Amino acid sequence: MNPIQRLSLHPMTPTTLPTATVLQPRQVEQLITGQATSDGAGVKLTRVLTQNLQRRLDPFLMLDAFGSDHPDDYIAGFPDHPHRGFETVTYMIAGRMQHRDSAGHEGLLENGGVQWMTAGRGVIHSEIPQQQEGVMEGFQLWLNLPGRDKMSQPWYRDFKAAELPGFVTDAGVVVTVIAGVSHGVTGAVTREATAPLYLDLHLPDGASFNQPLPAQHNAFLYVYRGELQVGTTPVPVQRMAILANDAQADGVVLQAKGDTRALLIAGQPLNEAIAQYGPFVMNTQQELHQAMDDFRAGRLA
Ligand code: FE2
């Protein structure tokens, strides 16, 4: 993380961004409509990346979008619950949520902030709204850990909006680099095994944005305002677009139709077996049973 990067790339400052050339852009393979569901103590949300897409979008396990101005939809929050074997990345667009966990971490996540938590061998935590009214909007992404890291020590960081690296392109696209590298700017978090790229893009009407992507990495977009054109495919609001893995393709080119906001997420597949039971994601059933035994016996965290 380097807050200076954001300052030095202010739109009024001449930039030295390397050009992100994409000669052969990926096409959209499939458009996905999320499924309305609820989780925690009754928080209403849309599950955009569902369990049946875990293999296709390896190393990503889940993406939830939440957004409501009805307190009944979010007020109960997520009381104490466990995780083992993966990472959670919570991006709060609007609202305030308090986090507490069994490793003694505590933090307030609000307006544009990111909380990155590596559950590793085990964390028990709660995520509770700190508002009685108003809008609560954001995303939670689950990123898998390679088998060798699933029992690692838990890790946790809160990034306030101003601490997240970012830049503005000549076309006026405001880019927040939550993870990975874009146009020479390194994000808040980098990971070797999964090499995640996580960008929040705000595009003015008509603006284009290029992002190089390794051909073997799995990648998807989620549009949460406006509409994007990706190759020959329009991607409407509240749709996820899975980007095709074409061996010849070197990235993606997006164009906004109207003022548009979208997440662009990509990563290197782990190609390992995925065994999930609720908040535990391991490689084998035996490891899942161990996780449940550890949780019941108070050994998880
Ligand atoms: Fe959680």
Q: What is the pLDDT of residues 203-259, one digit of tens each?
A: 999 999 999 999 999 999 999 999 999 999 999 999 999 999 999 999 999 999 999
Q: Take residue 281 and report the two structure tokens written for it.
A: 């994601």
How remote is the CA of residue 81 from the centroid of ligand 1, in Å?
6
Please give the pLDDT value at position 132.
86
Nearest to residue 156, comparing CAs of 187, 191, 117, 105?
Answer: 117
How far, in Å, from the CA of 242 to the mean position of ligand 1?
A: 25
What is the predicted pLDDT for the residue at 258?
98
Q: What is the DSSP string of 138-157?
A: EEEEEEE--GGGTTSPPEEE
Q: Report how far residue 107's alpha carbon sits from residue 99's, in angstroms, rounded to the nearest whole number.
A: 5
Quote the CA–CA distance of 273 and 287 in Å, as a whole number.
12
> What is the domain partition of the chain in residue ranges?
12-296
CA of 131 to the centre of ligand 1 (A): 19
Distance 269 CA to ligand 1 centre (A): 23
pLDDT at 37 over 90: yes
Task: Please give the class, per CATH, of domain 12-296.
Answer: mainly beta
Q: What is the mean pLDDT of residues 69-87?
A: 93
Residue 282 alpha carbon to ligand 1 centre in Å: 16
> Can you give the pLDDT at residue 2?
42
Is the separation of the CB atoms in 209 and 201 below 8 Å? yes
Amino acid identity of residue 228, one-letter, is L
Contacts of residue 14, defined as CB under 8 A and 6 or more positions apart, other chains included, come to: none
Separation between Cα atoms, residue 61 and residue 64, nearest integer Å: 10
> What's the CA-to-centroid distance between 37 and ligand 1, angstroms?
16
Cα(193) to centroid of ligand 1, in Å? 22
125: CA distance to ligand 1 center in Å? 6
Which residue is it, tokens 């490891």?
Answer: 287
CA 51 to chain centre: 16
This prediction's pTM: 0.93
Distance 40 CA to ligand 1 centre (A): 8
> Ligand 1 centre and the CA of 20: distance in Å?
35
Mean pLDDT rounded to a whole number for the chain: 93
Cα(237) to ligand 1 centroid in Å equals: 26
Q: What is the per-residue pLDDT across 173-210, written as a single tens digit (0 to 9) for each?
A: 999 999 999 999 999 999 999 999 999 999 999 999 99
Quick one: which H or E segment has residue 291?
A: helix 285-296
Q: What is the pLDDT of residue 301?
A: 87
For 136-150, what is the mean pLDDT? 97
Question: Which amino acid, residue 55?
Answer: R
Ligand 1 center from residue 124 Cα (angstroms): 8
pLDDT at 8: 40
The pLDDT score that the predictor gives to residue 17 is 63
How far is Cα 202 from Cα 262, in angstroms, rounded to an integer? 7
CA distance linking residue 171 with residue 121, whole number of Å = 44
33 vs 17: CA distance, rounded Å: 35
- Taking only the tens place, the pLDDT of each residue in 118-132 is 999 999 999 999 988
